[in-house]
Amino acid sequence: MSAADATPSDPARADLSRSDARRRAILDVASEVFLAQGYAATSMSEIAAKLGGSKGTLYNYFRSKEELFSAFITDTCQGPAMALFDQLPTADAGKSIRDNLVEFGANFLGFILSPRLIALNRIVVGETGRFPELGRMFFDAGPGRGEARFAQIVEAAMDAGELRREDPIMVGRCLKDLILSDYHHRQLWGVLGDVPAAQIRAHVASAVDAFLRAFAAA
């Protein structure tokens, strides 16, 4: 089919668009219910009722509650997080590694502390004991992918001679943990509250300085 044939009036394309819109609507409603009630207390029947359709229609898009929750995790974690990593300035952008890491780290910590992601973390931590698959789904969609991207960041800095040569995964974990230190746990426990952007940036700057003191090339 030529580009000229791929018009909005194309029935196949219109059907795909409607299907995508329906899937998006399901995810939006399911997200609200999961975040409000958790995994165990949410049923496919309730989600279908809130959508205003049948449970059979819901199962046409997601075969189980587990599959729907997995899609919710992916939707919450992967897109926003990967966009942050993709926006990380490169070494040839005219900024120092410190400036690049502080800019990236402040955006990353702001994302991690966002109400939606904190709520998802609480669900996973609270219910993984009864539903071990939730922890694996969350790790694979979020922290596991993030770990790989942190490793890529530090390995590129090692290749550029900005960091000394070490195991990139270990060094990436150190960078991530320093950025998240204290703030993430306190937000999970509900004792941090809203944090001004300037405070987040100052915390990340201190974390990056500690990281560079430990791993900067001699």
The tokens for 94 are: 């005219």
Contact 121, 115 (CB under 8 A): no
What's the pLDDT score for residue 6? 47
User: How big is the CA angle at 51 (ends 47 and 53), to the nearest 5 degrees?
Assistant: 100
Count CA within 13 A, CB hemisphere, residue 191: 5
pLDDT digits (tens, 9 = 90+) for 99-141: 999 999 999 999 999 999 999 999 999 999 999 999 999 999 9
Report how far residue 34's alpha carbon sits from residue 190's, in angstroms, rounded to the nearest whole number: 19
User: Does 79 lie in the same domain as 43?
Assistant: no
Domain that holds residue 43: 1-63
User: pLDDT at position 167, please?
Assistant: 97
In a domain, 68, yes or no: no
Residues 128 and 194 in one domain: yes
Instruction: Please tell me whether residues 161 and 180 are part of one structural domain.
Output: yes
Say if residue 112 is in the same domain as residue 50. Answer: no
Domain count, the chain: 2
**Amino acid, res. 20:** D
Q: What is the pLDDT of residue 19?
A: 85
Residue 145 inside a domain? The answer is yes
pLDDT, position 210:
98
| Domain closes at, from 21, 41, 63 | 63
